[in-house]
Amino acid sequence: MRNKILLMTAVLLCVFGTGTIHAATSQFEHKTDFILKDGTKAFYVENISDVPAMDYFLGYQFTILGVNTCSVNIKLQRMGLAGDYTTLSTKQFTGNWFDFSAQDKASIEPYHRYRILAEEHSENCASVHVKGRYGVEYFNFD
């Protein structure tokens, strides 16, 4: 009896459908590996309009090591017409962040220039090692 109910449910789901399924990409396209010694490091992202998509997200996934005695701020910013940058999102990381656990993303629009700015927030920072992925996620729904 239970098998008949499961078979009937499977047939009904196939006939009437289960809804729409959306597929999307979810990996940033640029890799980086650097030591933050001098205070700031910026990554620029341009020409995101080359890929037709429904939604664009600027973001990063970093592993941050050596931040035991200080903190690091990472900002997602958009460049304005006058050349100044507007901050879309700011996160502060203190301590070690393993396995790409330091992450953030913000919704953006095409035809703009963006940057990801990493800066030391404290004066007593030694060498901070940052590695991971950054860039734009493109969500293309099928």
pLDDT higher than threshold 70 for residue 21: no
**Residue with the larger pLDDT of the pair 29 and 16:** 29
Domain containing 92 — which CATH number?
Answer: 2.60.120.680
66-123 tens-digit pLDDT? 777 788 889 999 998 888 999 999 999 888 888 888 888 888 887 888 999 998 877 7
* Residue 123 C-alpha from the chain's centroid: 27
Q: Which of 10-14, 31-35, 82-86 has the lowest mean pLDDT?
A: 10-14
pLDDT higher than threshold 50 for residue 24: no
Question: Is there a domain that residue 13 lies in?
Answer: no
The string of DSSP codes covering 11-56 is HHHHHH------------SEEEEEEE-SSEEEEEE--GGGS--SEE
Closest C-alpha to 65, from 44, 95, 43: 95
Highest-scoring range by mean pLDDT, 3-12, 18-27, 95-104: 95-104
Residues 6+ apart with CB under 8 A from 94: 67, 70, 71, 72
Instruction: Find the angle CA(38)-CA(70)-CA(34) to the nearest 5 degrees.
Output: 40
Two tokens, residue 117: 């700015």
Q: How high is the pLDDT of residue 23?
A: 45
Average pLDDT, the chain: 80
**Residue with the larger pLDDT of the pair 59 and 48:** 59
Question: Is there a domain that residue 18 lies in?
Answer: no
Question: By residue range, what is the domain housing residue 121?
Answer: 25-139
CA distance 83 to 121: 24
pLDDT band at 22 (very low <50, low <70, confident <90, very high): very low
CA distance 74 to 59: 10
Question: Is there a domain that residue 17 lies in?
Answer: no
State the average pLDDT over residues 54-73.
Answer: 84
Question: Is there a domain that residue 10 lies in?
Answer: no
pLDDT band at 55 (very low <50, low <70, confident <90, very high): confident
Residues 6+ apart with CB under 8 A from 109: 56
Closest C-alpha to 70, from 116, 132, 126: 126
- Split into its structural domains, the chain has a count of 1
